[in-house]
Structure 1
């Protein structure tokens, strides 16, 4: 009895510490995170929906790099495919190309010190973003840099849902084929991706480039007339003058709760239809209320989620929300041809959001994300062609399925509800 009492007290103290740590860490983070977005930019976009096609193109562009390759990923593993990727970066660094690799510390935990040393010996600059640190150990362990951004020679950018690991090229049978959406970007928007990479790099290393500093947007911060010729040359290598292309878009980096407001703003614009594609549908209460309001005013809501989950409890966490939306007339589809990891939000075929953020509480409140809003009708029509194929590979989720007596599912839903912030 005494042992049980002692253990109960210890458990209470641990939970209380977690709670205080989280709340204080969150308060500090929310207070210092400034909202950010670009104005309307004009670029050119390709979209990749298969990993093998994406990485064939991605590796080819890295091989052609002349000046620098800047890469931020949430996950890089230590399997054969990851080793091929890292070997390519080492080869480019040995050629004299500047290679900077920024990885989330928790997401890329398989990257060992030995492997980092190998990369650095070849000339690759490596840093880890968002390390677990005092004074808020628990909160900092939950805040992750979930962005996946690459900039090559300041002229080509990549952004989307793919990471580096064998599952992303269909070599993990349970989750194959892997379905995702990843953008290849050219045009003036690449400058912003570069500045955001430098911002994350500076935060993780406490140093920027010799002259660029924190990597802020040079068009805003730097006055070229104050620079000498060598400094202007250095700046232009990272921020070349880029062509104004045809596709209207904006980039929106978010953290510390900013994404919730962004999504709510998008949903409020909807007059006819909303499409949400996400691997994890776990909205906040405010976001869910806005979805229900849209349904009540006659907006047609369609949601696509995976049939097969890649993490425990994420499906059960979504079921209470999906149950209510189905009752309100929404349509829900489960993608069956592999694993659906894509992240998109389309409003009235006028705005298409593609990026790194899931439609879940972790992306809303804890992750650092990067999304792209596209306003081009031709691109959105192309995206709808992609979705037509995805619908063909999906099955409707019915209210009958979610209301059938299932004690195991009900128990999992209760547990998932309690943990939904961290799933």
Structure 2
């Protein structure tokens, strides 16, 4: 009886904690503000090896500061290359800050001591805390931002670890998208890094102490949009409202909710060509099962849904009519919409988007297979049971 009572009390505590934590979070949400359109130069990366080589070179050339934030950082082979270089730069006198989400922090105590000794400043975001312990564990900082000397920066879906180079035999080739930015938009990346660092580290710094952002680099219109468990759905609805001919959605986790499902169905019924790309092989239990209940209505309305089979598809991208392109950290799921801290980059440049669309659609046409109504009908009883469970817990997936 005592064990049963403890289990019941734990469940009551868990549910109450999550509900009250969410209530407080919702109460503190601020209205979505307008975000400046900046002129910048943007480079697109779809391969981890090329991205990391590029990042390491820019870090090596840094002279003032290196500010790096990731959701996951491992001190494995590629992670150690980053850490060794950061220590070198800190010893040279460069201001080096590394910020990692508590849930994705995989740096050993020994390595931490080595970093601190070299002068690297290290902090974790979203450390679990009271009074809402379980809610704080569930709420993650999913942002991936790098700013170097306020001259250049990075934003996108890649974390730091060997699996992002395709070195995990279970996951295989890792497909993701990341952006390199030079110019005015670096100010927005730096602003958000500063907010996250000052709110987490206990050692705040002042933006005025940094060298100013270089203006006039690049002509591509860019908006950097950070979100704190709100306004992502609003942002996506706004982008979809612009669609007249074409929509491409790439996401590792597709749990859109009813309003976005209806919006996609309406657009498809209106003649908009909608393509959705997801991974065939999921990296977490039940996430794909949570997507399947949305597929029948979308397929019937004409949405072309395909699953990437050459490894794991982790990309987060939304393209509208070759006029708008959204690449960042937000997945097309309830966790990114309502819980996580995210940051996205919206690009408004037809000449930039056209070649990027061609690159992205290679994954859709050459490395993916169609999901049809037969796939839905032929799912086993066990798979359908998993769908029910996944739907019930979808806000936490």
**TM-score normalised over the length of structure 1:** 0.90
- Cα deviations by residue, 1:29-53 (Å, 9 ceiling, x for unpaired): 2232333452211110111100001
Q: Does 1:111 align with 2:107?
A: yes
Which among 329, 332, 336 is matched to residue 363 of structure 1?
336
Structure 1 portions without partners, runs of 5+: 216-230
The runs of 4+ residues in structure 1 deviating greater than 6 Å are none
Count of matched residue pairs:
395
Which among 73, 81, 94 is matched to residue 76 of structure 1?
73
* 8 Å Cα contact 1:37/1:250 also seen in 2: no
Q: Does 1:251 align with 2:224?
A: yes
Are residues 12 and 289 of structure 1, via their aligned partners in 2, closer, same or farther at CA, if it must alter by over 3 Å?
Answer: farther
Greater Cα shift, 389-398 or 41-50: 389-398
Greater Cα shift, 384-393 or 39-48: 384-393
Are residues 33 and 313 of structure 1, via their aligned partners in 2, closer, same or farther at CA, if it must alter by over 3 Å?
Answer: same
> What residue is the counterpart of 1:224 in the other structure?
none
Which among 51, 56, 66 is matched to residue 53 of structure 2?
56
* 8 Å Cα contact 1:305/1:334 also seen in 2: yes
Greater Cα shift, 74-83 or 283-292: 283-292
**Where in structure 2 are the equivalents of 1:201-212 lying within 5 Å?**
201-209=197-205, 212=206
Q: Does 1:422 align with 2:386?
A: no
> Counterparts of 1:93 and 1:33 in 2: how far apart (Å)?
37
Which among 361, 382, 406 is matched to residue 380 of structure 2?
406
C-alpha RMSD of the superposition: 1.6
Which among 177, 186, 199 is matched to residue 190 of structure 1?
186
Q: Does 1:260 align with 2:228?
A: no
> Counterparts of 2:44 and 2:318 in 1: how far apart (Å)?
15
* 8 Å Cα contact 2:29/2:230 also seen in 1: no
**Where in structure 2 are the equivalents of 1:111-150 lying within 5 Å?**
111-150=107-146
Are residues 353 and 62 of structure 1, via their aligned partners in 2, closer, same or farther at CA, if it must alter by over 3 Å?
Answer: same
**Where in structure 2 are the equivalents of 1:186-335 lying within 5 Å?**
186-209=182-205, 212=206, 215=207, 234-235=209-210, 237=211, 239-335=212-308
- The alpha-carbon deviation at position 9 of structure 1 amounts to 4.5
> What residue is the counterpart of 1:97 in the other structure?
94
- The alpha-carbon deviation at position 7 of structure 1 amounts to 4.8
> Counterparts of 1:262 and 1:355 in 2: how far apart (Å)?
13
> Counterparts of 1:388 and 1:361 in 2: how far apart (Å)?
25
**TM-score normalised over the length of structure 2:** 0.95
Report the 3-state secondary structure (helix = DSSP H, G, I; strand = E; otherwise coil) of the residue aligned with 2:354.
helix
Report the 3-state secondary structure (helix = DSSP H, G, I; strand = E; otherwise coil) of the residue aligned with 1:314.
coil
